[in-house]
Amino acid sequence: MDRDLGPGPRATSHRTPAAAPTPVRGDTTARPVHNWRVPELPEVQALTVALRGHLAGRTVERCELASFAALKTVEPPLDSLAGRTVDEVGRRGKFVTVEAGGLFLVVHFARGGWLTWHETAPTARARPGRGPLALRVRLEGGSGFDITEMGTEKRLALWVVHDPGEVPPVAALGIDPLSPRFTADLLARLLSDAGSATLKTVLTTQSVVAGVGNAYSDEALFVAKLSPYRRADRLDADEVRRLHRAVVDVLSDATAQLVGLDIGDLKADKKRSLRVHGRTGETCPECGDTVRQVAFATKSLQYCPTCQTGGRPLADRRLSRLLK
């Protein structure tokens, strides 16, 4: 049963994505923005598989909340997970669900969040504070895991619910691109419904395609040889097929590379498989051109002009200032 891939009954509903973010004007820092560590579908899927191995059949002894802001629900209380045995660990988009005795702990890691597994959980009780620790879960027998969030964004989110569908962003998720229901025909419909939105925006809008973020959308667009700024509703049938194949291949290959690794190695290992994302200034592995970027306030996208945009660099004020 592929409950990891089941996006739920509302999966086909989606909203028209907003327009692509506007590049920041006046930002003249030339520092490349490294954002490939954000966990996306492949990392979260590999984490789900690893965590299932650690948790299935184990009983939760205690949950210690260190970041009150991270917990988005009050009822049922977090403490009600204690004493329950974990039945299953699943994934919805970039969310992990831990099911224990009829309750679900749902986790969204966001940019700086991750999970550390402990064969022997630290003895110190987790205390609320400014550190990265958000939640410590202890299992009977002494093992457990910490959920942490580095950085200042503080967007990591936790929910305790009777059904993952009670979590609004989970309920709103679009199709899982590793689901057999994600066909070229479905992608064609989603692109056509997206109107004037760009391909980059459509691929990264969670209510349309669940689990793809900035890194793997760059990769899929590169493999499909399509500009991130192409209008979604202007692709011909061959281009849709190419994009569909690229999305599925990029995500499947990355997932296959990551599943089986230790949880601690998953985020660090992500960059190895990336062809253009996070590689501004490096050589395109297909054509030898230089990988370029468009920078936004907190992230950047990468692409190859020769492979994707007919040799024309996309406008990036930061870069064009430097080249003058």
Cβ closer to Zn ion: 268 or 287?
287
Q: Could you say which of 163, 233, 253, 286 contacts Zn ion (CB under 5 A)?
A: 286
Q: How far is the CB of 289 from Zn ion (least distance, A)?
A: 5
Q: Could you say which of 284, 294, 295, 301 contacts Zn ion (CB under 5 A)?
A: 284
Which of these ranges, 10-18, 100-108, 130-138, 300-308, lies near Zn ion under the rule CB under 5 A? 300-308
Q: Is 210 in the site for Zn ion (CB under 5 A)?
A: no
Q: Is the dihedral of CA 228, 231, 234, 237 positive or negative?
A: positive
Residue with tokens 């689990």: 211
Q: Is 106 in the site for Zn ion (CB under 5 A)?
A: no
Q: Could you say which of 287, 297, 315, 322 contacts Zn ion (CB under 5 A)?
A: 287
Q: How far is the CB of 227 from Zn ion (least distance, A)?
A: 12
Q: Is 249 in the site for Zn ion (CB under 5 A)?
A: no
Within a 10 A sphere around the Cβ of 282, how many other Cβ atoms? 12
Residues with Cβ within 8 Å of 251's Cβ and at least 6 positions away in sequence, in order, are 41, 42, 177, 178, 211, 212, 216, 220
Q: How far is the CB of 225 from Zn ion (least distance, A)?
A: 8
Helical axes 237-258 vs 184-193, angle rounded to 10°:
110
Which of these ranges, 95-103, 193-201, 208-216, 288-296, lies near Zn ion under the rule CB under 5 A? 288-296
Q: How far is the CB of 302 from Zn ion (least distance, A)?
A: 11
Cβ closer to Zn ion: 233 or 289?
289
Strands 292-295 and 300-303: antiparallel
Q: How many CA atoms lie within 13 A of 313 on its CB side?
A: 16
Residues with Cβ within 8 Å of 192's Cβ and at least 6 positions away in sequence, in order, are 232, 233
Q: How far is the CB of 252 from Zn ion (least distance, A)?
A: 22
Residues with Cβ within 8 Å of 144's Cβ and at least 6 positions away in sequence, in order, are 61, 118, 121, 136, 137, 138
Q: How far is the CB of 284 from Zn ion (least distance, A)?
A: 3
Q: Is 290 in the site for Zn ion (CB under 5 A)?
A: no
Instruction: Tell me the number of residues near Zn ion by CB under 5 A.
Output: 7
Cβ closer to Zn ion: 178 or 301?
301
Cβ closer to Zn ion: 216 or 222?
222
Q: How far is the CB of 286 from Zn ion (least distance, A)?
A: 4
Q: Is 289 in the site for Zn ion (CB under 5 A)?
A: yes
Q: Could you say which of 306, 313, 314, 317 contacts Zn ion (CB under 5 A)?
A: 306
Residue 224 φ/ψ, nearest 5 degrees: -80, -5
Alpha-carbon distance values, 162 to 85, 100, 134, 176 (Å) = 15, 10, 21, 22
Cβ atoms of 208 and 12 closer than 8 Å: no
Q: In whole angstroms, give the CA distance from residue 219 to residue 214.
A: 9
Which of these ranges, 96-104, 112-120, 163-171, 296-304, lies near Zn ion under the rule CB under 5 A? 296-304
Cβ atoms of 153 and 161 closer than 8 Å: no
Alpha-carbon distance values, 85 to 7, 89, 108, 318 (Å) = 24, 12, 21, 53
Which of these ranges, 12-20, 87-95, 154-162, 307-315, lies near Zn ion under the rule CB under 5 A? 307-315
Cβ closer to Zn ion: 287 or 315?
287
> Where do contacts with Zn ion occur on this chain (CB under 5 A)?
284, 286-287, 289, 304, 306-307
